[in-house]
């Protein structure tokens, strides 16, 4: 059984399995309820894996429902991107996409029901007045002067609110619960407000919109949700969730269960702040490969399998879930190690001339795409008189333990000959611009006689290699908690070196690959052909997904 198919125990799984065993539920129905006001990020990936995963593990169903109760910030672009992300993550929702707006008529009727029961009233307090009346964590609130309006008056005013007789913000509908409740969420919360805003689905039909807390619990009940899984900030909202459902003739009463949200170091997961990065052009868009959005991670080359493994490794609990970026990167690295072919690329090219190259005699070799996967096939690695190597693989004055190239030293070229550096050619400024090297012609596919050559470096034939734009991505921020400093703006901690674009070279066998094709560039890291700009046979663009080893802590510690 693979690690991905082995269930991980956690408290939510235990609750669900107990409910099935006891007969409380015959089957499980969960939901993933994003607001279409931005692109999904890595925190949503955790929630997707939990909600869809729990349903799948127990032969249940998971709905995709958009919380579209805030029309000014929502768009079809966001809604479409969310659907694309869920599918790419490897999940499929039950039936059609659902929307909170599907229930606007029912939600209105339920509000009328609350008014008739004397459990909701129209309030004319301004937002500032309402805050003053609400009280504090240590002081009880005060009743609104409009709290005891007669039922008939409330029904009339609520109808007129719906019909557009009052300006935006003039009145709200509030639930009548308890202004002295220790939980401030129960101090007569607003459940409807007047808002003239064009809605992406209902157009201008409504000028009043229900609030999230009121909408969400009823939508869950109407869909027959059994377990409503949400992050820990909604724990204090659960009494309101339950109160609404207890007052109304809804078909069922789902159970809300909270878990800790994901906080990933060296990034942010606030949609408001991510939108700020986009609108202020600090990144190239929501799908910038440095962004923690699912579309950004996909473009960078992350795999859905790697993200699902990451969600599994970090687990589900109620305790703080601040995770180091290395956990995410190692999940991706471990997944790519087994599934992607390997090729050679050079990102900082230094030209090498082979002085004893003999046309027709100096041979090329076949090389497999993966040492553990012969089924991946192989390709010819052509050798020529002029080759590219990495500039970092040569040192005039080598440090102790150096096993790469230096004048008078030898290395093996991967899949090819042992070469010896005889001369370093410099320009007028003293920079090494070319190496003159000779091959040992008896070392193709075998070790030299009488001596050991420890170093192996990658290389490319200048005549056969293809030019490629290679984007070296690093962490977007220099601080583990970029929005944790109350005195400074989070953008102060943007990493100026989060993207370095270089013109490199790559093996010709990648010429016609499709966008979003992943490779290990030997000795350099994992890379993915850019899904937006890579053009097979023309402009080749590769994004660095992750390095071969986690070197961040060592380099920045």
Phi, psi of 48 (to 5 degrees): -60, -50
Residue of 31, 176, 271, 290 marked catalytic = 271
Judge if 357 and 372 occupy the same domain.
Answer: yes
**Residue 555 pLDDT grade (very low, low, confident, very high; cuts 50, 70, 90):** low
d(CA 297, CA 274) in angstroms, rounded, equals: 14
Between 118 and 550, residue with greater pLDDT: 118
Q: Is 233 left (phi over 0), alpha (psi -120 to 50) or beta?
A: alpha
In a domain, 395, yes or no: yes
pLDDT of residue 554: 55
Pair 314, 458 in one domain? no
410 and 457 share one domain = yes
Q: Which two tokens stand for residue 557?
A: 């510690």
Name 172's bridge partners.
Answer: 123, 193
For residue 1, the model assigns a pLDDT of 34
Distances (CA, A) of 459 to 301, 348, 431: 24, 11, 20
Q: Answer whether residue 552 shows pLDDT above 60.
A: no
- Domain shared by 364 and 440, yes or no: yes
How far is 235 from 231, CA to CA, in rounded Å?
Answer: 8
- Residue 159 is part of a domain; what is its CATH number? 3.90.800.10
Q: Is residue 28 part of a domain?
A: no
Under the banding of pLDDT at 50, 70 and 90, the label for residue 2 is very low
**How many domains does one find in the chain?**
3
- Do 394 and 409 have their domain in common? yes
**Is the domain of 426 the same as that of 516?**
no
Q: Is 358 found in the same domain as 310?
A: no
Q: What would the pLDDT profile of 454-483 be if each residue is shown by its tens digit?
A: 999 999 999 999 999 999 999 999 999 999
Final residue belonging to a domain, choices 427, 462, 497: 462
Quick one: 448 and 351 in the same domain? yes
If asked whether residues 120 and 200 sit together in one domain, one would say yes
Of 232-236, 320-324, 359-363, 486-490, the least confident:
320-324
In a domain, 99, yes or no: no
Q: List, for residues 362-375, the tens digit of each pLDDT value.
A: 999 999 999 999 99
What is the DSSP secondary-structure string of 232-271? GGGGGGHHHHHHHHHHS--S--PEEEEEPPEEETTS---H
Query: Of 193, 210, 227, which one is at a domain's C-terminal end?
Result: 210
Residue 368 is part of which domain span?
343-462
Among the candidates 418, 436, 462, a domain finishes at 462
pTM exceeds 0.85, yes or no: yes
| Same domain, residue pair 483 and 448 | no
Q: Tell me if residue 261 is catalytic.
A: yes
Percent of the chain with pLDDT over 90: 95
| Same domain assignment for residues 392 and 444 | yes
Question: Of residues 176, 261, 299, 475, which has the active-site annotation?
Answer: 261
CATH number of the domain that 356 lies in? Answer: 2.40.240.10
Q: What is the pLDDT of residue 5?
A: 63
């Amino acid at each position: 059984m693979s690690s991905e198919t082995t269930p991980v125990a956690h408290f939510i799984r235990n609750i669900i399995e107990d409910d099935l065993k006891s007969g409380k539920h015959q089957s499980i129905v969960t939901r993933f309820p994003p607001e279409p006001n931005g692109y999904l990020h890595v925190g949503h990936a955790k929630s997707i894996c939990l909600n869809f995963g729990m349903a799948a593990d127990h032969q249940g169903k998971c709905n995709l429902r958009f919380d579209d109760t805030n029309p000014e910030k929502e768009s079809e672009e966001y809604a479409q991107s969310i659907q694309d992300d869920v599918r790419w993550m490897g999940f499929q929702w039950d039936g059609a996409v659902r929307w909170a707006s599907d229930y606007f008529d029912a939600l209105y009727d339920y509000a009328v029901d609350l008014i008739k029961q004397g459990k909701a009233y129209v309030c004319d307090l301004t937002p500032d007045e309402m805050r003053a009346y609400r009280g504090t964590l240590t002081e009880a609130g005060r009743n609104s002067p409009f709290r005891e309006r007669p039922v008939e008056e409330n029904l009339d005013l609520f109808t007129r609110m719906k019909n557009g007789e009052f300006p935006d913000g003039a009145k709200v509908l509030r639930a009548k619960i308890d202004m002295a409740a220790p939980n401030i969420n129960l101090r007569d919360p607003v459940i409807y407000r007047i808002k003239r805003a064009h809605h992406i689905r209902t157009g201008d039909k409504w000028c009043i919109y229900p609030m999230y807390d009121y909408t969400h619990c009823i939508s869950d009940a109407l869909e027959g949700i059994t377990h409503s899984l949400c992050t820990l900030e909604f724990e204090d909202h659960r009494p309101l969730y339950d109160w609404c459902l207890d007052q109304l003739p809804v078909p069922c009463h789902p159970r809300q269960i909270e878990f800790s949200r994901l906080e990933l170091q060296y990034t942010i997961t606030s949609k408001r702040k991510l939108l700020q990065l986009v609108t202020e052009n600090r990144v190239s868009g929501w799908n910038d490969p440095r962004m923690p959005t699912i579309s950004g991670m996909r473009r960078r080359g992350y795999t859905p399998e790697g993200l699902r493994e990451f969600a599994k490794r970090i687990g589900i609990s109620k305790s703080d879930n601040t995770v180091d970026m290395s956990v995410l990167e190692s999940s991706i690295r471990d997944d790519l190690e087994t599934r992607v072919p390997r090729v050679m690329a050079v990102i900082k090219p230094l030209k090498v001339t082979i002085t004893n190259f003999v046309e027709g005699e100096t041979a090329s070799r076949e090389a497999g795409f993966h040492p553990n996967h012969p089924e991946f096939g192989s390709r010819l690695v052509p050798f020529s008189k002029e080759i590219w190597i990495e500039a970092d693989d040569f040192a005039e004055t080598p440090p102790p333990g150096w096993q790469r190239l230096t004048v008078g030293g030898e290395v093996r070229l991967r899949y090819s000959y042992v070469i010896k550096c005889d001369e370093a050619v410099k320009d007028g400024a003293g920079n090494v611009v070319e190496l003159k090297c000779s091959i040992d012609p008896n070392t193709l596919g075998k070790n030299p006689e009488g001596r050991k050559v420890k170093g192996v470096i990658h290389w490319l034939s200048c005549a056969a290699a293809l030019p490629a734009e290679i984007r070296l991505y690093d962490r977007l921020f220099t601080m583990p908690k970029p929005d944790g400093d109350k005195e400074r703006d989070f953008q102060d901690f943007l990493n100026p070196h989060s993207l370095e674009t270089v013109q490199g070279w790559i093996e010709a066998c990648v010429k016609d690959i499709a966008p979003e094709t992943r490779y290990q560039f030997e000795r350099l890291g994992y890379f993915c052909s850019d899904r937006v700009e890579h053009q097979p046979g023309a402009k080749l663009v590769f994004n660095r997904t992750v390095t071969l080893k986690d070197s961040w802590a060592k380099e920045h510690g």
